[in-house]
Amino acid sequence: MPLLTGNLVLPYEVCFGELAIADGLISAITPLGTPQPDAPLILPGFIDLHFHGLGPYSAEDPRTLLDMAAFAPQVGMTSFCPTLAPTPWPDQLAYVRQAKEAALVQHAGARCLGTHLEGPFIAPAAKGGMNEDFLRPASLDDLRALLREADGTLRLLTISPELPGALDVIAEAVKHGVRVAIGHTHCTIDDFQKAVEAGARQICHLFDTFEGRPVHGGVSQTCLTDAILIEDRVDVEIIPDGHHVQPGLIELTHRAAGTDRIIAITDAMMGAGLPDGVYAESDGRPYRLTNGDVCRLTDGTGTIVGSCLTPHIAFQNLTKRFGFSIPEASRMLSANPARALSLHDQTGALQEGLWADITILSPDHTTVSRCLVSGKTAFANDDAMT
């Protein structure tokens, strides 16, 4: 029975101990004492529900999804939802159809949980870095076409609720087991609340593509992000790269929403985890990736199109830059996304009976030493092992 020894990151504490694995599952957890300074950090594997690329791979190219899955354990990722921003409509249908294979077939590396469609039912006014040519009005027929192609593998749909017909699309998607996120929106608070009533339960990268606070007659108004923070039924995605969301807003989110409503995402682009350089979106538009900064279009506008964050850097940022405890950061990167997709009985925590999907960091937390999926080593960095 394989045994891991180190500082175990449990949901609400860290302790030194042993973790046993049998038949791909965590079979026993044995606490042995207080954390040891020179021991590796053993965490539940990181789960990213929202990213567009990783390493040399685009998550928007279904032909390389399995290669990306094999790469993902290098950054501590054990499960993921490849995310597609709007592309020409026939390509979106083909993407969902082809990505289904990655979700259903046995493969090496991280688990592909199914597709996240960030669009195409997005309000042009809030498109952010999306290509406006490929946005579509909210349409039940279009949704049903996507559901048919996905055949149960569409996990997450991001939509602007102010579009005519959006509430019907939300309700229909939820009926088919799809998690619905609200985002890329300038909707009213009333629109937002109707979307929640229709079943939306998540917010796409809170604060990014959202409008600021309106002032009428010299009086500050309650704005959409305020309403989101105090609506307990929705979880909020946060990009913890230090650029997409100001540290003060992360603290505000934590105080208002609490740790367990925050889902850390990377929203990363192809090139994340690689050196600085110019890469291209799936529609061919080039962007510059600058590590420690963000990805920006090179068309002179400097529009942000995504991050160069990886989950293990997100963990470091959450703990070292934003002041979260290790268990809190871990929940944002594992337990909370698992729960969002109703997978908390399978993964997202170091708990007996769950999949042995485990990320091990070096004692200083800077390096992924080893990553296991279903108890099998999917990545091992011998240099980092101590």
CA distance 55 to 113: 19
CB of 204 to Zn ion, least distance (A): 7
Nearer to Zn ion, 305 or 378 (CB): 305
Which pair of structure tokens corresponds to residue 308?
A: 């160069």
- Contacts with Zn ion by CB under 5 A: the residue count is 2
Q: Which stretch binds Zn ion (CB under 5 A): 115-123, 130-138, 173-181, 275-283?
A: 115-123
Which is closer to Zn ion, CB of 118 or CB of 162? 118
Please tell me the distance from the alpha carbon of residue 116 to that of residue 93, in angstroms, as a whole number: 13
Q: Is 118 in the site for Zn ion (CB under 5 A)?
A: yes
**Whole-angstrom Cα distance, residue 385 to residue 358?**
15
Nearer to Zn ion, 142 or 208 (CB): 208
Question: Please, which residue, 44 or 119, has the CB nearer to Zn ion?
Answer: 119
Neighbours of 253 (CB within 10 A): 21
Strands (E), 160-252: 179-182, 202-203, 215-216, 219-220, 235-238
Least separation in angstroms between residue 297's CB and Zn ion is 14
Q: Which is nearer to Zn ion, 234 or 305 (CB)?
A: 305
Closest to Zn ion by CB, 55 vs 86, is 86
Shortest distance, position 266 Cβ to Zn ion, whole Å: 9
Smallest distance from Zn ion to CB 153, Å: 18
H or E stretch including 326?
helix 326-330
Q: Closer CB to Zn ion, residue 95 or residue 379?
A: 95
Least distance (Å) between residue 242 CB and Zn ion = 17
Question: Least distance from C-beta 267 to Zn ion, angstroms?
Answer: 5
Q: Name the β-bridge partners of 156.
A: 116, 179
Residues whose CB is less than 8 angstroms from the CB of residue 30 and which lie 6 or more positions away in sequence, other chains included: 17, 18, 19, 20
Residues between 253 and 312 that touch Zn ion (CB under 5 A): 267
Segment (H or E) for 279? strand 277-280
For 258, residues 6+ apart whose C-beta sits below 8 A from its C-beta are: none
Q: Least distance from C-beta 255 to Zn ion, angstroms?
A: 26
Do 272 and 313 form a contact (C-beta atoms < 8 A)? no
Residues of this chain that interact with Zn ion (CB under 5 A) are 118, 267
